[in-house]
Structure 1
Amino acid sequence: MPNVPLIEELRWKKFPVLDDGFVCLVDCMGDDSAIVQAARVSYGAGTKQVSDDRTLIRYLMRHRHSTPFEMAEIKFLVRVPMDCWRQWIRHRTANVNEYSTRYSVAIDSAQTTDPDEWRMQSEVNRQGSGAHLPHETGVRLTETEKEFQRAAQRLYNERLEAGVAREQARKDLPLCTYTEAYWKVDLHNLLHFLALRMDSHAQWEIRQFATTMGEKILAPLFPVVWEAFVDYRRDASHLSRLEMGVIQRLTADAAGKGAAPPYSQEMFLAAQDVSWKELTRSRERDECRSKLIRMGLVQEP
């Protein structure tokens, strides 16, 4: 049975994210035992010992059996900047009801950026960030950001005061404006969302929301599922056929040379897949290299 006292303790508790965002639990249906119950209906009585529940959940997670995790649902209330929400709403497997700026005045809050938080465009990832800009540059950018946000809010308010319809007055609101939404999702699709949005390649801002949802709300409500998720999804690496081939060639070459890990970059390049060798830039090769560095098989560049 769901842990009702824990749900009541978490319900409507706003966990802060960014400068004025938050996530909070509205409701929860199910717990770890609901996943086990759903799985066991597939084969009758099956294994009934409580001590085996963790083993079963970890098996389901490890082998990507998704249906049992769909039997639990969580409803959140979130306040999030609109640019971040655009990425969020791409996950079309949830039920959503968003704050309407046709019916109501827009939330008088916009995400601001501290001087030391401005990031440069990544040189290796066209959609990602790189190093932070110098503090002096950040100070100037933060000040112009505040000026722009004040001007945008002033323009919006002037339109409302002039009698312009809310649905039209809102059209020049910046994407930093906060919105709120109820977001109800089953556990399987929530875990998929978290796996993508907690990843280091996701935008930093949405990672803060995903991490808060996972660690502050999901982890206490579904501790066994969360443990399995961390072990087999969040902190795991999955190897493709090509990557396994690299490891086999790399270790075979090392055995012939009497070399011990971590192996050199030269040895890695010699063992790379043939389809990568003629490419000046290969994201697949870079991802393979990163995995082997994490595993302690290859040296840092």
Structure 2
Amino acid sequence: MPLTPEQQAEIDELRAGARPTLRAVSEGMEKHLYLPHQVLDHGFVRVIDYMGDDAAITQAARVSYGRGTKTVNTDEGLIRYLMRHWHSTPFEMCEVKFHVKLPVFVARQWIRHRTANVNEYSARYSILDREFYIPAPEHLSAQSATNRQGRGALLEGAEAARVLDILREDAMRSYDHYESMLSDDGQKGLARELARMNLPANIYTQWYWKVDLHNLFHFLRLRADAHAQYEIRAYAETMCRIVADWVPFAYSAFEDYRLGGMQLSAKGIAVLKRRLAGETVTEETSGMSKGEWREFESAWEA
């Protein structure tokens, strides 16, 4: 398990000290509090704190206090309505704070979502651990021939072994040099803020990432998608399972309308109507670009 003894002791202490509270509590989220969910080879995601539940979303939508006379069924229906019609503010009433351990190259992709509060482990003040992400053989792929930011066929045999050897050797050599530059044994030793520049992008970092539910759903819609890079998708899929326990009504609506749904353009709706009327519509007669047509057609493939 990728936790230090100190981190595990802290988790054990926090989990043992239950306290009474008057605030809204999600029983599904309580079981996740502080516990790490392993991701990749050395990474994890864990919930540090959260605010709100499904009821907080409906209360905000109704601008009222308490549950009143509303039933669970009407709460679920309202949440589905809000999700269906792209209402965002009620979902912002829920927040969660994650502790994430992740490779630096994944963090640089993740940080593009500028709607969260982030505090990252600082290699200016502390020394990073000798931990690197090395892909499992089943995730070692060649460059896609059709997608500049995607993967193609799986590397196998001697080629896969060669690449894995390079990744391990480069990571270890870089860390050896990092330690050597920091060392003050018979020398002054380079400042930590400078020595870190030599470390590879597959070394692990950690951060606290606090976000509201609306922006978390936006993150998950992009990063839990099948087209997202595998490494960040692994984190997003773990977070999806956590959110499903935290706000089951909201997550069910999100899964239905965002993850499992699709948005049609006006041209797409027109083509669909023409097809339902019995007309044969082709790319040439659709009015769509090649890219639009390809995406439209792929949505109906079995």
Q: TM-score range by the shorter chain?
A: 0.7 to 0.9
Partner Cα separation in structure 2 for residue 46 and residue 5 of structure 1: 21
CA contact (8 A) 1:82 1:176 kept: yes
Q: What displacement does 1:135 show?
A: 3.1
- Change in Cα spacing, 1:270 to 1:144, as seen in structure 2 (3 Å) is closer
CA contact (8 A) 2:121 2:207 kept: yes
- Change in Cα spacing, 1:173 to 1:230, as seen in structure 2 (3 Å) is same
- Change in Cα spacing, 1:70 to 1:4, as seen in structure 2 (3 Å) is closer
Residue number among 213, 217, 221 corresponding to 1:187 in the alignment: 213
Partner of 2:84: 62
The 5 Å alignment of 1:88-237 reads 88-162=110-184, 163-215=189-241, 217-237=242-262
Q: Does 1:81 align with 2:103?
A: yes
Partner Cα separation in structure 2 for residue 142 and residue 187 of structure 1: 38
Partner Cα separation in structure 2 for residue 234 and residue 116 of structure 1: 25
Q: What is the RMSD computed on CA atoms of the aligned residues? A: 2.2
CA contact (8 A) 1:272 1:285 kept: no
Q: What displacement does 1:125 show?
A: 1.8
**One-letter amino acid of the structure 1 residue matched with residue 293 of structure 2:** R
Partner Cα separation in structure 1 for residue 285 and residue 41 of structure 2: 44
CA contact (8 A) 1:197 1:210 kept: yes
Partner Cα separation in structure 2 for residue 113 and residue 72 of structure 1: 34
SS in 2 for 1:237: coil
CA contact (8 A) 2:267 2:287 kept: no
**One-letter amino acid of the structure 2 residue matched with residue 166 of structure 1:** R
Partner Cα separation in structure 2 for residue 71 and residue 141 of structure 1: 46
Q: What displacement does 1:6 show?
A: 4.4
Partner Cα separation in structure 2 for residue 220 and residue 7 of structure 1: 6
Structure 2 unaligned residues grouped into runs of 5+: 1-22
CA contact (8 A) 1:72 1:186 kept: yes
CA contact (8 A) 2:91 2:214 kept: yes
Deviation readout 1:84-113 (Å, 9 max, x if unpaired): 111110101000000000010013211012
SS in 2 for 1:120: strand
CA contact (8 A) 2:26 2:53 kept: no
Residue number among 250, 265, 273 corresponding to 2:286 in the alignment: 273
Q: Does 1:252 align with 2:277?
A: yes
TM-score for both structures, normalised by structure 1: 0.86
Partner Cα separation in structure 2 for residue 149 and residue 73 of structure 1: 36
**One-letter amino acid of the structure 2 residue matched with residue 269 of structure 1:** T
Residue number among 271, 278, 297 corresponding to 1:289 in the alignment: 297
Of all paired residues, the percent bearing the same amino acid is 46
Partner Cα separation in structure 2 for residue 198 and residue 269 of structure 1: 31
Deviation readout 1:3-52 (Å, 9 max, x if unpaired): 3654443111100101111000000100000001000018xx99733331
- Change in Cα spacing, 1:250 to 1:4, as seen in structure 2 (3 Å) is closer
- Change in Cα spacing, 1:235 to 1:6, as seen in structure 2 (3 Å) is closer
Q: What displacement does 1:289 show?
A: 1.1
- Change in Cα spacing, 1:76 to 1:62, as seen in structure 2 (3 Å) is same
CA contact (8 A) 2:144 2:152 kept: yes
CA contact (8 A) 1:114 1:138 kept: no
SS in 1 for 2:97: strand
CA contact (8 A) 2:54 2:247 kept: yes
SS in 2 for 1:75: strand
Q: What displacement does 1:286 show?
A: 1.2
Q: What displacement does 1:272 show?
A: 4.7
CA contact (8 A) 1:117 1:132 kept: yes
SS in 2 for 1:123: coil
Count of aligned pairs: 276
Partner Cα separation in structure 1 for residue 198 and residue 110 of structure 2: 21
Partner of 1:40: 62
Partner of 2:15: none
**One-letter amino acid of the structure 2 residue matched with residue 173 of structure 1:** L
TM-score for both structures, normalised by structure 2: 0.85
- Change in Cα spacing, 1:93 to 1:190, as seen in structure 2 (3 Å) is same
Deviation readout 1:49-72 (Å, 9 max, x if unpaired): 333100000000111100000011
